[in-house]
Structure 1
């Protein structure tokens, strides 16, 4: 929740919020694609498949894991373009691989179409988590930065929920037609927003940079009769001009404007930041928080739960939204660390509890409690992962990295995430269907314990950190 003296709808924040909401259109669209895969892979393996060809478990694992290759490619691609092209052009580019994802799924003729579609979905994901955090961090005030960036995960979760539902309610070929409207809407709306002031300053467009700064900070410099200017307006304009001059000084003379060299990545502060970030990435992916969303229906189908797996998936999807909403509301009040460690502690309890129930509960116990116990454990795991780890991951990563190498370091970090994504999505079906739920949950829980201990000891709080200077 925002501090009491930070009214969210004050004039200064309006355009920042509108730009964030525009970006979140793509988060919602991306979440829709992620959620759609979970029930769809079950449907296309069933006798009632809408496709003209069979899909095996091994092919399903490739459908899942090729997202990781796409994520890696997106990180590399947008890591190269983020500082070579304008921030806004990069924002436009995010929509096109996502469109290809749905187009390929609509015109599918073989499993290779599904592979390629998931690859392009991964490219979009890689770009979303490189370009957008940088863009937003440059225009959003620190008082609302955590809330607006965490809100992205809430929109993604809403998309995931709709993605869970659509394949069970409408025809396979209708979903792509509906989903394509979202990236088109996103591109149109982005047209109405200017480039970030920092990007314009780096390219030497000082007047445009000041205009963009005024736009995003709600500063009105239109010429008015002197008698019509209120004291508050005058004070706001003066403060805004002072802020812009400070920003200009930082960008043009500070670390952010100095060419990045190789040794910058090996400075003590950079190495510490990379260590914290990489451990956080391992926790984010190998705790299973993302894999759960991709294989949720399969998890319930493989468990002893007697609830309908599609219904269970939908309800858990709602809990994921509630978790990300919780993160959005309380990240600025409690800070990043508190939410993260409360989240991971509850996740660990839930995963070990789920695994223990599946392993040790007798037939009589399962007959009596299987209706709700597996579902309850997954509800706890998914809600708590969303409320701290999933909801605030990208906020924390952006804030941890040093300003001078932030864009490049973020791309490197996301490349690392993409490798983790590929591994977890490739081996998760093997763990789930061959080793069973207990081994799957114990492994994810053990990784969560080790990484949480490290982060608790070494990772600092990043709430309120400046995005323009270290």
Structure 2
């Protein structure tokens, strides 16, 4: 059955009361909406804490357990394998147990993982703990942006969902900073704090109204929506829109994995997976994981470089969160992609000069400029917006499978990019960044021709337009 898309002129007439309501609601959004977002992004902060743990603890853990570099590399990289498993299972768990249930499962794995790391007396429990935190991280990477997108009104959806990336960045930066002061066991205990806040908060906040509607729990759906919009808000128009869309989707055959690539869903799946490829294959994890090494190769202070890197990333991600619902997703993605290409190009020039010993004095300045341009540009768009768009475009009946596939693509790209970086640098240092620049240039073309603007539309309007 075709999903009906309302004519634009008629749509304005039908939706006008809802739009009018939301304009007024934007001035008095109830505290529960923001509290729900705060609770959810504690999972994002936990994600960042997990990702940032291995860098400042490397020397201490290797010394305490007499680990070789290869053994510690296993400890660091096994996080990504856990995240890939988490990505595969995140969608089905979120569909079966609900968005809150998935966050509880993820938190349990993180708590178990941190405790295993804290009490470990050898490399095996250390690796098991790291694998468990990676699994939790993989589930969080999917369920947090999906939950926020499903509870937020359309005029705040971009800003609130972008907080996911901001909190990941904050978690990484804080772990990196305090990890230089605390012992590695104390830092593992610090990792329990965001999950503890999240688990407590989940007893207070409502479940995603759209998930409740999909499960046929109409009274719970309306109660959750009323709590999120405020006790005096008129939710009838929004509730009717969600229920009508869910009813239409329920009349469609139950989707299987291969059916995601059928004509009806092909566009949304292509956009979701394509943006994850654009985000990861352009070199972000290589530059993130090996920033210190790049600074050293370019003869620039790694300490000054990494501190500048962390501060800039926090600032520009915050700016992106402010701008996303004003400028739209697509303009920020294009601005971000252009800056990332420029950053890669500057890095390629720096290493070309170093290899051929031409203008060597300019190499450190060019290298740090290239990395900061890259990170600043990535943080304002490509870091957060692929997750925002992924949480918006998949209909609720395929969101679990399609979201898992997109998240798995992201984590596979993260692993592949970080794994191949040293091999590429051995082949050609400047050639590596030329390759990344070319991939990011292709990403710009993909954004121009394939990615729609999702700003200012309800999830139901957006998904019906893309998947009809």
What residue in structure 1 maps to residue 227 of structure 2?
A: 215
Q: 2:117, 2:130 within 8 Å by CA — same for their partners in 1?
A: no
- Cα pair 2:89 2:404 within 8 Å, conserved: no
CA shift in 2, pair 1:65/1:133, >3 Å: same
Q: Residue 450 of structure 1: CA displacement?
A: 2.0
* Residues 388-397 or 28-37, more deviating: 28-37
**Aligned partner (choices 271, 285, 292) of residue 290 of structure 1:** 285
Residue 23 of structure 1: aligned partner: 40
1:86 aligns to what SS in structure 2?
A: helix
Question: Relative to structure 1, is the Cα distance of residues 394 and 274 closer, same or farther in structure 2, using a 3 angstrom cutoff?
Answer: same
1:149 aligns with 2:192: no
Closer, same or farther in 2 for the Cα pair 1:388/1:70, shift >3 Å?
A: same
Q: What is the correspondence of 1:346-425 to structure 2 with a 5 Å cutoff?
A: 346-361=339-354, 365-366=359-360, 368-425=361-418
- TM-score, normalization by structure 1: 0.86
Query: 1:26-425 to 2 correspondence within 5 Å?
Result: 26-41=43-58, 43=59, 49-56=62-69, 58-220=70-232, 236-237=233-234, 240-251=235-246, 253-255=247-249, 258-262=252-256, 264-301=259-296, 303-307=297-301, 309-361=302-354, 365-366=359-360, 368-425=361-418
- Displacement of 1:241 in angstroms is 2.7
Whole-Å separation in 2 of the counterparts to 1:176 and 1:380: 32
Mean Cα deviation higher: 355-364 or 331-340: 355-364
Give the match for residue 463 of structure 1. Answer: 455
Structure 1 residues 324, 186: closer, same or farther in 2, change over 3 A? same
Q: CA deviation at 1:143?
A: 0.6
Q: Which runs of 5+ in 2 are unaligned?
A: 1-21
User: Does the C-alpha gap of structure 1 residues 449 and 111 become closer, same or farther in structure 2, counting only changes over 3 Å?
Assistant: farther
| CA displacement 1:286-329 (0-9 Å, x = unmatched) | 1122343333333323x22331x133212201111112111101
SS in 2 for 1:254: helix
Task: Tell me, yes or no, if the aligned pair for 1:143 and 1:332 is still in contact at 8 Å.
Answer: yes
2-structure distance, mates of 1:151, 1:6? 22
Q: 1:168 to 1:206 in 2, by over 3 A?
A: same
Say whether the 8 Å CA contact 2:212–2:218 is kept in structure 1.
yes
SS in 2 for 1:54: coil
- Separation in structure 1 between the aligned mates of residue 72 and residue 352 of structure 2, nearest angstrom: 26
For CA contacts below 8 A with separation 6 or more, give which structure has more relative contact order: 1
User: What is the distance in 2 between the residues matched to 1:218 and 1:162?
Assistant: 34
Partners in 2 of 1:278 and 1:352 — Cα distance? 26
The alpha-carbon distance between structure 1 residues 201 and 276, as it changes in their structure 2 partners (threshold 3 A), is: closer
Shift of 1:196: 2.0
**1: CA distance, partners of 2:313 / 2:31:** 27
Pairwise CA distance, 1:39? 3.6
What root-mean-square deviation, in Å, do the aligned CA atoms of Structure 1 and Structure 2 show?
2.5
After superposition, the C-alpha distances for 1:97-156 in whole angstroms (9 at most, x for unaligned) are 222332233234444444333322321222112222222222111110000011111111
Q: How many residues in Structure 1 have an aligned counterpart in Structure 2?
A: 439
Q: So what's the TM-score if we normalise by structure 2?
A: 0.86
